[in-house]
Chains A and B, each alone.
Chain A
Amino acid sequence: FVCSSFSRRDFYQILGVSRSASIKDIKKAYRKLAMQLHPDRNPDDPKAQDKFQDLGAAYEVLSDEEKRKQYDAYGEEGLKEGHHSSHGDIFSSFFGDFGFMFGGNPRQQDRNIPRGNDIIVDLEVTLEEVYSGNFVEVVRNKPVAKVASGKRKCNCRQEMRTTQLGPGRFQMTQEVVCDECPNVNSSGHGTQCQHPLFLISSLLCPRLVNEERTLEVEIEQGVRDEMEYPFIGEGEPHIDGEPGDLRFKIKVMKHPVFERRGDDLYTNVTISLEEALVGFEMDITHLDGHKWIRILVKVFCGIELCGHVDSHYVWRKSVEAYKEKNSTPIIKYKWPINQVLEWPSPDLNPIENLWYEEQFCVEWSKITKESRQKLTDKYPNRLKEVIIAKGATTSYSFHFHCQGVNTFELVFVEFCKKKKKNAETNTCIFFLINKSKTFATKDFFLKFFAFEKFKEMINFRWSM
């Protein structure tokens, strides 16, 4: 009987949630506070029991849609009378039957008390759930040993007894002798019940009975793969002892878009050559459903491209408006790389005064005419005419400014094979060469492009 003090309690305040809190928030708040406020954990606090009761009442009302509506409208006094689940039940649905381990204070391990088996259930969760947190409701149907008071007689048998009637006079009689057994039999079916009233009501002959309850499993925000959440006492029963535990093991499923490394999220983004060169805007849907702000890369400063310092700088600039703790998304550009189709004619002279580390080849014909035109249209000032060696058909040079890094120059050189008879298109090879000496080009290229190191060099003469 709950004879609560009828002073008004602010259930929202007790749980520490806003009035518009979702059921998920409420469950999360309850679980966290229940661990803290449990009287066993606060033996020195005389008000601990009251605080704990208040917590249970708050959860009971706010977690039920109907009751919450009534409470919001009329306050605590306006709640209709109904069956109030004991706080014990609510507590058990989050932690199991026998209380819980107070982080470092394990359940009394009495070797004399046998224990039932533990059950480990794999719980598959999505990365979205890990990111935002969630609760999973499960129904646990388990056999419970309903032990009757006292024992029953079993293994009854006939034995010969000798009694002394007088000096030198003995009598042998037959007697029924029984052992004592506990009243429960593990099979749960048709136990040999010796209770005289058995025939009248099987309820009086206890055995294993199946019981059900709903459990709330929390998927904590940021939880790691393989983490276990135990529910004490919800495992398999043991007739002569304690039940084992039920443990949920988190299994994070692979996500099609994002990958978690530590507390960072990674995703691969495929972009076109033009986008890579001149920058792009993009919307990405984050794990919690809402879209990121656009990523403005005005200058060709891919995250990896500019080296670490600048990439972060650029990145931070872009996502200033969107602050997310524990998640620093990094975008890696994945440029479709094609094989080298042809090597330009061998009579080309090696490049003079051109310092390069590595080269990257892409089939120029795969880059559409429109894209090429766009580039030249968009950045006429950036183009420099280049005198090229015999064999090269065209070249373009781009200057790039990376915030905090010196200007560097990329040269695109195109070599096209002469048109064969009946051939549809030219086959061209495209070279991307970094001309700058101030840049760690090897890293630069390694991170950005996949490429082969070429043995032969190509000569160029530049006009400024």
Chain B
Amino acid sequence: MGFIQVVHEYGLTKLVFVLLCVLLQSEASYELNYVTCGSVVKLLNTRHNVRLHSHDVKYGSGSGQQSVTGVESADDANSYWRIRGKPNHECQRGAPIKCGQAIRLTHMSTGRNLHSHDFVSPLSGNQEVSAFGESGEGDDLDVWAVQCSGTYWERDDGVRFKHSATDVFLSITGEQYGHPIRGQKEVHGMQGANSNSQWKTMEGVFIKPSNEPLRHDEL
């Protein structure tokens, strides 16, 4: 094959590829379809277009614990949550989460777990959702079950989070806070699964499943 010919052929291929790249920009082509244990993700409420968020700001009412809100921005590191198994249960790194599986969501920056309890939320009067615990250790009220159709939690799916202890769903209904967290939306627990309680993973660090076993047999 002559040199000139090679250039032409490669050039054309490259052009076609670039065009394809541009067209595919809007589509998501994932190398990993599942949400796995140990991954650190942002969760978007699909109805209200805000991301699950927490920060070092405490509720002024209710339990007085660290508040959990929904924010509009897509580049805030305080919207990252780590996916972990329930207490005392091993959740192997990279293992896809099953629909129905009980998990904990640990706030990456503060180390507190997504939590709900018998307190009233400040704006809407639903059940308060807070961030609780230290360095990832809290209590049984940190456990949520992932509800989705199918076998595994897929990144494209809209899923719901049902609080295992009180059966409420993690939801947003649009109420907004004022100062000092102006514009952020209230996150609470509510009965009933509907469009307000649907969430989807967005940005994050998704750990791929391992090919080999991570552990050998015991002594």
Q: How far is the CA of A143 from the CA of B138 in the complex (A)?
A: 31
B179 proximal to A (CB < 8 A): no
From residue A135, how far is it (CB to closest CB) to chain B in Å? 10
Which residues between 1 and 39 of chain B lie within 8 Å of chain A, taking CB atoms? 7, 9-11, 13-14, 17, 22, 25, 28, 30-32, 38-39
Binary CB contact string for chain B from 174 to 209 against chain A (1 if under 8 A, 0 otherwise): 000000000000000000000000000011111110
* Chain A min CB distance to B74 (Å): 4
A236 surroundings in chain B (CB, below 8 A): 75-77
Q: From residue B136, how far is it (CB to closest CB) to chain A in Å? A: 8
Residue-wise interface mask of B (94-127) relative to A, using a CB-CB cutoff of 8 A (1 in contact, 0 not) = 1000000000000010000000000000000000
- A118 vs B108: C-alpha distance when bound (angstroms): 11
Q: Is the CB–CB distance between B10 and A129 below 8 Å?
A: no
B31/A257 in contact, CB under 8 A: no
B73 within 8 A of A: yes
The answer to whether the Cβ of A167 comes within 8 Å of any Cβ in the partner chain is no
Q: How large is the interface on A (under 10, 10 to 19, 20 to 34, 35 or more residues)?
A: 35 or more
Contact residues of A between 222 and 260, Cβ < 8 Å to B = 235-239, 244, 246, 256-257
In angstroms, Cα B214 to Cα A288, docked, is: 10
Whether A138 lies near B73 (C-beta < 8 A) is no
A124 touches B206 (CB 8 A): no
- A136 and B203 contact, Cβ closer than 8 Å, known pairs A124-B38, A203-B25: no
Please determine whether B72 and A187 come into contact, CB atoms closer than 8 angstroms: yes
Docked pose: A445 CA to B3 CA in angstroms: 83
Residues from chain A with Cβ under 8 Å of B215 in the complex? 126, 128
Q: How far is the CB of A267 from chain B (nearest CB, A)?
A: 7
B217 (CB) vs chain A CBs: closest residue: A285
Residues on the B chain within 8 Å of A269, using CB: 219
A128 and B205 form a contact (CB under 8 A):
no
Q: How far is the CB of B199 from chain A (nearest CB, A)?
A: 15
CB distance from A24 to the nearest CB of B (A): 9
Kindly list chain B residues whose C-beta atoms are within 8 Å of the C-beta of A116: 75, 77
Contact call A139/B30, Cβ cutoff below 8 A: yes
Residues of B within 8 A of A142 (CB): 203
A138 engages B214 (CB within 8 Å): no
What residues of chain A lie closer than 8 Å to B144, measured between beta carbons? Answer: none
**Residues of the A chain whose Cβ atoms lie less than 8 Å from the Cβ of B30:** 139, 212
B83 to chain A, nearest CB (A): 11
Please name all residues of chain B whose beta carbon is closer than 8 Å to the beta carbon of A288 when the two chains form the complex. Answer: 216
B93 touches A (CB below 8 Å): yes
Question: In the complex, are the beta carbons of B214 and A246 less than 8 A apart?
Answer: no
Name the contact of B75 in the complex, choosing from A124, A189, A237 (C-beta under 8 A): A237
Q: In the bound complex, how far is the Cα of B32 from the Cα of A136, in angstroms?
A: 13
Q: Identify which of B7, B28, B208 contacts A138 (C-beta below 8 A).
A: B208
Q: Does B49 count as interface, using CB distance less than 8 angstroms? A: yes
Q: Are B31 and A187 in contact (CB under 8 A)?
A: no
| Distance of A47 Cα from B25 Cα, bound (Å) | 37
Kindly report which residue of chain A lies nearest to residue B94, judged by CB atoms.
Answer: A136
Query: In the complex the two chains form, is B108's CB within 8 Å of A120's CB?
Result: yes
Find the residue from A119, A125, A203, A237 having the highest chain B CB count within 10 A. Answer: A119
A178 CB to nearest B CB, Å = 24
Alpha-carbon gap, A1 to B25, bound state (A): 23
9 CB contacts below 8 A, A to B, read A81-B9, A121-B40, A121-B205, A138-B206, A141-B205, A187-B73, A189-B72, A189-B74, A210-B28
Report the 5 A-B pairs with minimum CB-CB distance, sorted nearest first.
A117-B77, A188-B74, A137-B208, A139-B206, A126-B214
